[in-house]
Each structure stands twice: as C-alpha cells, then as structure tokens.
Amino acid sequence: MKMTRFVWLAVFLMLFQTSLADHLIELKNVGEGEITLSVRKLYTGEIKNFYLYTPTGFVFPKRVKSDEYTFEVRPGDLIIPVVEGVNVLGKRMYHVSPSFLRVPQRKPKIKIISDIKKSGVYIYVVVTAGDFTPIFLKVENRIFRFFELEGKWISVFKSFLEDGSHVVRIQFKGPFGYTFSIEKEIYVIKQVAVPMRGEDGTFDYTVFTQHVVQRGETLWSIANQYRVRVGDLVLINHLEDPDRIVAGQILKIGRVTFRENPVTIVVNLFSSKLGLYYDGVLLKVYPVALGRSDATPPGKYWILRKEIDPALYWFGEYISPRTPLNGLGTRYLQLSNSTYAIHGTSKPWEIGKRISHGCIRMFNRDVEELDAFAGVGTEVIVVKEKGDFPERLY
C-alpha cells in the first residue's frame, strides 16, 4: 500500500510539474549503494534544504561538496528530489526538474580507445549503459551520435583534438524520459586520447589473508611484514591516502597483477631518454636523468601507484612537497620494484645526467604529462641499446 501511494505521488508530480523549474537536478555519479546528484538553482538566492523522498522514507545527504550531494539509496528505487530555497525577495522556491528519477542499477561504464591509422587517429567511446541510453557526446563544441552494437553503445570520430586535457560530455536518457550527463576527462598526445591519468586501468588481485592495523603501524611496515608491495595494498583496499590508516582498520593482504594496457613506456639507459608508446606506436620522447653506473637495472616493470605533489621521507624525516629539499618534483610514479620510480625533480639542470640512486627523473612539465597519459598498470621497459627509439615496438 505504501509503495502504491509512492508511485501515484510520482505520477502526479510528473503530470502537474510546472514548466518553469526553480532547480535543475543532474545525476553526477553512481556508487555502491549511493548516488551523487548536483542541483543548480535558476534564481538568485540560496538553497535551504535538499533531500529525497523514497519508498523507505526521507533520505538526507550523507555528504555535501559544493553543489553536489551524495545520498545512500537502493538500486532500482524510484526517488523524488525535494529542494527548498529562498530567492532575494524572500519567496519560497521549490519546483524541481526532473520531478522524479530512478536510481540506476549500476553506473554506466565508459571506455575510451584510440585507433591509429594511416589516415589519422580515430577515437572510440564505448558505453555499457544498463538502464540508460546514451544520446550523444560533446567534445570541444562538436557533437557525435551513438550506435548500438552487441549490447554496447559506440561513438567514433576522427581525432581533431590538440595536445592536453579535454572533457567528453555524454548525454543519457533514463527511464521515464529524464536526461542527465556524465563528464569524462581525457588527455591527448599527438591526437591519441586516453582517460585522464589512465583511470580505466584494469587489474586482477589475489587476497590471501587480512590484517588488523595496530597502533604505530604504517602501510610500508605492513607490506614488508607480508612481503607484498605498498601499491598492492593501496589498490586492493582502494586507499585514497596511503599515509592515513588507523588502528583497528582491516586491510586485505594480497598481490596485484595487471591486464593488457595499450600504453607502454620504454627507458633507454644508453641515451638517457624515455619513449612513450600507444598501441606500439611511438608518440613522444623525453630526456631523463638516470642512476649512477648500473643503479637503474634493465628489466620489465609496471607503474604500481602514482602521487601528485609527493612528500619525501628521508631517514624518518618528512620533507614537504614542492620545496627545494624535496627532490621528487610534482609527480611520483612508483614502479612494481619499490626501489625504483619515475618522478619529477627540483634540480632541472641534472636532467640528462647519471646522478640518481636508481630512479628515473624528468622535468616536472614532462612527468606531469606522463602522469596524465599513463595509468597504473602501464608497462615500463628499461633497456640499454644504441640508436633511436623504433617508431613501432612490434
């Protein structure tokens, strides 16, 4: 009976909703048992309240960040957004569009793939949408349509994008006809586009035990205890900040293996240069600083974790990011062998020399671009060979 009344209320709001909404609601993100909605007011004034009416009652936001509100909800539920505001004249503003929506069963998956042809680079945007239908995507004020193929929605266009970051905005149609959009940031080098910072990087992992964090323990000490890597624990436990673990916290202990990745990094010890490849095609070459003598050994590694503005811990001393004494620069890409990393530098005049303890140093502007293009799981091949980088790896 309660659910029937709820459905009739939703239908009533849909039929009699005013055409001039005071607030526009957009679905921004779908998580495990939660959704994030943004609300945009179409008047000058302020929003006093924003909550949801659901089949189980009223739900208030668990987290608010700027104009984005995160709610705990059940997948598949029909929900009614309730927004209350006041304009500068003191008038109550409460009309909302859409007047109701359904919680997605799962978040649409968006994959960005570049295909390098002789005629140019083609960018494929592949969407697995579940309950939704992608209508079009927009990038740099150009609109491209989708077509359906084997249960997936695909949009393809010849790349016209300049080097740097861009935003792909995909418009969806949900059940009952309401629309929303999802933005996906990409990074482009030589017209080849990838998800920003390789956020689509995929990996598998095996968990063999659990650990309850004790007072005074660090992620590094726990990793050493079980002979795994810090990056393994970060990825398996979805840790946003590896420096913040608390006593009593339960960590899964295991090891990560990475799946195939179209991006490859090759470091040549002979020439002190780094080559960036996509699908085996050379895109760009960067100068680097390397380890003294044979401190940077040839071999195959993977990027295991990444940090922006990393702090330096030197014999127990904390050295703040972006300071002259911190030699890590603006980005830090930890390799699967924890002894080595690719990072920036506070001493750009040392690039091109053999001067480090084994890490690969880059100009900050270069490592920032590498960080934007190469994700966790990217293969890093260190070689010592004469000659230039081949135009193709295979």
Catalytic amino acids? 343, 359
CA proximity to 54, closest of 110, 16, 2: 2
Q: Is the dihedral of CA 249, 252, 255, 260 positive or negative?
A: negative
Whole-angstrom Cα Rg for the chain: 25
CA–CA separation, 146 and 94 (whole Å): 35
Q: Which residue has the tokens 């260190």?
A: 382
Phi and psi torsions of 104, nearest 5°: -60, 145
Instruction: Give, as one character, the DSSP assignment of residue 16.
Output: H
The DSSP result for 157-203, as a single string, is EE--PPSEEEEEEEEEE-GGG-EEEEEEEEEEETTEEEEGGGTT--E
- Altogether, the residues listed in the chain come to a count of 394
Sort 152 into a burial class: Cβ within 10 Å, 0-12 / 13-18 / 19+: middle
Peptide bond into 98 cis (omega under 30): yes
CA–CA separation, 69 and 143 (whole Å): 29
CA proximity to 284, closest of 375, 386, 366, 185: 366
CA distance readout (Å), 291 to 99, 273, 294, 314: 61, 13, 7, 18
Contacts of 321 (CB under 8 A, 6+ apart): 309, 310, 311, 328, 330
**Number of Cα atoms under 13 Å in the Cβ half of residue 22:** 17
Residue pair 367/256 in contact by the 8 Å Cβ criterion: no
